[in-house]
Amino acid sequence: MTDSISPAVHDLIEHRTPRGVVVIAELGVNHDGRLDKALDLVCAASAGGADAVKLQLFEPAELCSARYRRAEVEMLAPLALNERAVREICDAARARALPVFATPFDDTSLARLVELNIPVIKIASGEVTHTPFLDRAARTDRPMILSTGACELADIDRAVATIRDAGCPSLSILHCVSAYPPPDHVMNLRVIELLRARYSRCVIGYSDHTLGDEAAIAAVALGARIIEKHLTLDCAAPGPDHAASADPSQFARLVRSIRRAESMLGSAEKHALPVECAIARSIVAARDLAAGEPLRFSDLAFKRAGDGVRPFDAEQLVGRRLRRPIHRDEQIALSDVSAAG
């Protein structure tokens, strides 16, 4: 499969910095616990141009305390995928050259991830402070992606140290705001710049829960190399994540926008380009000039005339005699004047 997956996601799996932006379609629980919907989401992710899809693997009773969050346990129970369903989803995705990443929330799910040979572990924001689990996940010898919603910088530092100390071969960190959706004024996308500077050995990205494309495009412009976006078949469907997700058409538009932004970012080298208009001024004659006449500065005009001697080289012409007559508005070339004497 690695021969046909996108080069950027191949790099990520192989512990290298992606050569482009990796777009992950987060299926989350938007399959509503149904295999048919999950397979439809895989198809939509493939059609929309995703580089990978991501699942969430969890045992509800291991994730939430029934004593304190019984309603959440009951809400999540029908959304959990059994092992057969996960295998079928993985097979369907791989058939479309889409690697499957997964977020495990407990040791049982982590073991299932390893058994299914899922190549990348995504750590949810809520697990950043769960250092015993981070240690165990890091020891699976897989690349890890760490979301950082609802975290302090000290929490991220601790998590990164735990993961590195346990021998994780490569770590990516995603800026994230754990609200669904978050309001614009709390996005603080400049945190991406902070993360890039503070964790220079890590790939930095962004997990997007906003509505629309703008935040993800801005994140790419700020240097994000991974964009994760929830994908749903219907934003109006009941469930915890549908409303803050992109439907198939929205997701495809997002991917196109990201690819266009990547192309626009280009390189950091500044030079004149062949596609640019000829807007620089050249030196032309301010009046009709006779052969043998010495050029004075007042004989020169500076106008758009295509290629020619630029105004900053005017001193190379002033004081020299013309080798031929020059008509008004005609370019004066260095070859049109005598050698400096």
For the stretch 121-130, pLDDT in tens is 999 999 999 9
Torsion of the alpha carbons at 28, 32, 38 and 40, rounded to the nearest 10: -120
Q: Which single residue is written with the structure tokens 């803050």?
A: 244
Residue 8: predicted pLDDT: 97
Ramachandran assignment for 166, one of left (phi > 0), alpha (psi -120 to 50 degrees), beta (any other) = alpha
SS3 54: strand
Residue 276 CA to residue 262 CA, distance in Å, equals 20
pTM for the structure as a whole: 0.92
Q: Under 8 Å CB-to-CB from 95, ≥6 apart: which residues?
A: none
Percent of the chain with pLDDT over 90: 97
Residue 13: alpha-carbon gap to chain centroid: 16
pLDDT of residue 261: 97
Place of tokens 């192989």: 14
**Burial profile 123-157: b = 16 or more Cβ within 10 angstroms, e = fewer:** bbbebbbbbebbeebbebebbbbbbbbebeeeebe
Residue 162: exposure state from Cβ atoms within 10 A (0-12, 13-18, ≥19): buried
pLDDT tens string 301-333: 999 999 999 999 999 999 999 999 999 999 999
Inform me whether the pLDDT recorded for 114 exceeds 50. Answer: yes
CB 229 within 8 A of CB 216: yes
One-letter amino acid at 312 equals: F
Distance CA 220, CA 214 (A): 10
The pLDDT-based confidence of 178 (bands split at 50, 70, 90) is very high
> 24 near 52, Cβ under 8 Å?
yes
**Please, what are the domains in the chain?**
7-265 (3.20.20.70), 282-336 (3.90.1210.10)
Alpha carbons 224 and 160: distance in angstroms, whole number? 18
**Alpha helices, H only, 199-270:** 214-221, 248-265
Q: What is the pLDDT confidence band of residue 68, given thresholds at 50, 70 and 90?
A: very high
Q: Which of 71-75, 188-192, 275-279 has the highest mean pLDDT?
A: 188-192
